[in-house]
Amino acid sequence: MSRFFLSRSSGRLCLISRGAERSPLYVDFTTPALMQRVKRLSPRSELLLKALGGQPGETVVDMTTGLGTDSFLLAAYGYRVLSIERSRTLYLLLCDGLNRALADPSVPEWLQKTLARIHLINADARSVSLLPNESVVPICP
Ligand SMILES: C[S@@+](CC[C@H](N)C(=O)[O-])C[C@H]1O[C@@H](n2cnc3c(N)ncnc32)[C@H](O)[C@@H]1O
């Protein structure tokens, strides 16, 4: 039996540890901490943006999405983001966080537009063939 299981709690899909000694893990793109980072968002405040050096509207491929923080910040800057995550569990948590925020009428329009720029894919990034497109920048943050 796995030590972790997925369960819905307070309307969120959560990864829960059977020992219950850890807090449930879920994706929330509306936390005050993320909103603070978005407020100060610039290539000076976020090294990832500085390293990329691209322009809003370009496409970035996040090849290791994890819990989606980097993908979110890139989308908030204006990039279109193809977010690839190979873990099925993390992918489901990401989909839940994204869909929950998109369906929430209290989420402001700018945040909804930001989230709509993120496209999630559940795959091993090494097996995803990207269309040749000079504006696509693959990253592994
Ligand atoms: C350290 S986390 C990335 C954290 C992420 N940048 C963030 O902002 O939350 C690494 C993630 O990359 C995923 N990963 C590693 N190799 C991968 C691959 N070849 N294709 C897709 N995902 C991969 C892992 O499953 C893990 O969730």
pLDDT digits (tens, 9 = 90+) for 72-127: 999 999 999 999 999 999 999 999 999 999 999 999 999 999 999 999 999 999 88
On the question of pLDDT at 134 being above 50, the answer is: no
In the chain, domain spans? 26-139
pLDDT tens digits for 8-44? 999 999 999 988 678 999 999 999 999 999 999 999 9
pTM of the model: 0.93
The strand pairing partners of 120, in sequence order, are 83
Would you identify the CATH topology of the domain 26-139? Rossmann fold (3.40.50)
Per-residue pLDDT, 86: 96
Rounded distance from Cα 63 to ligand 1 centre (Å): 7
What stretches of the chain show up as alpha helix (H) in DSSP?
A: 32-39, 47-52, 69-77, 88-103, 109-116
Q: Whose CA is nearest to atom 23 of ligand 1?
A: 64
- For ligand 1, mutation pick of 65, 77, 129 (most atoms within 8 Å of CB): 65
Ligand 1 pocket mutation pick from 25, 64, 70, 74 by most atoms within 8 angstroms of CB: 64
